[in-house]
Amino acid sequence: MDDIDRAILRELQSDGRIPYADLGPKVGLSPSAARQRVQRLIDTKVVQVVGVTDPMAMGGQAMALLGVKVDGDARAVADLLGRRDEVVYSVLTSGGYDLFAEVVCHDPRTLLDFINDVVRPAEGVTAVDNFPYFGIHTHRFAWNV
């Protein structure tokens, strides 16, 4: 990956549907060269083109990152949580928590119920810390490339 690839990725993060006619000049390439570069990034699996929903637009008004500590197999808990509609993603870690799960619920009460009725009673879960997101109206990941 070179500086032009990084510039392309920055532009795609800002607007994933940018026309090649606009992308090329922004990164110092012709539109056809930009298209070829983007296709190479896709073919080599550096970039994935996916649809990402906005949880707030879909009715979720309570979002939180859950830090979960597990005594036993954290993968089983991550798999359990990953099957739930409320969970955007679950990921195993090697830090102070055994896994993180990002959760979106309709309202704060539903989030509390999910934590108390689903996560805490899961086999092996010893602790759950809740890091709620307040006042978030857009949810977006941007990587510094």
CATH number assigned to the domain comprising residue 30: 1.10.10.10
The domain of 19 spans: 3-44
**Amino acid making up residue 16:** G
Query: Residue 124: inside a domain, yes or no?
Result: yes
Query: Residue 137: inside a domain, yes or no?
Result: no
pLDDT at position 106 over 90: no
Question: Which CATH number do you get for residue 108?
Answer: 3.30.70.920
Examine the domain organization and report whether 20 and 61 are in the same domain.
no
Render pLDDT for 30-65 as a digit per residue (tens, 0 to 9): 999 999 999 999 999 988 877 766 666 666 678 899
Query: Residue 139: inside a domain, yes or no?
Result: no
For residue 67, what pLDDT band results from cuts at 50, 70 and 90?
A: very high
- Strand 62-70 to strand 99-105: parallel, antiparallel, or no bridges (unpaired)? antiparallel
Q: Is 73 helix (H, G, I), strand (E, B) or coil?
A: coil
For the chain, how many structural domains are there in total?
2
